Amino acid sequence: MKKYLFVITTILAIILGFYIYIGATFNIYSLHLSPQILIGIFLILAGIVQLLGALKPYLAYLFILVGTVLLILN
């Protein structure tokens, strides 16, 4: 179960990362949510991935904290 959750969360983080990158860099389409909210969700997903797969997940706590702060401040 842990492996499936790791794979699903990794895929979601990659898709969201590309969505933010394409929308913010090339301005091809307008983002439906503000970029800060999307980046906050991306950081939380990245933190979850690191918690599931990393041997020393110290950055995971930082990612989750910063992502949560970005979501709260919006």
For residue 60, the model assigns a pLDDT of 82
For residue 29, the model assigns a pLDDT of 57
This prediction has a pTM of 0.56
Instruction: For the chain, 74 residues long, give each residue's pLDDT as a single digit of tens.
Output: 677 877 887 787 788 777 777 766 666 555 566 777 777 888 888 888 788 777 777 778 888 888 888 778 87
For residue 28, the model assigns a pLDDT of 59
For residue 34, the model assigns a pLDDT of 72
Other CB atoms within a 10 A radius of the CB of residue 56 amount to: 7
For residue 37, the model assigns a pLDDT of 77
Q: Output phi, psi for 49, to 5 deg.
A: -60, -45
Residue 72 near residue 36 (C-beta atoms within 8 A): no
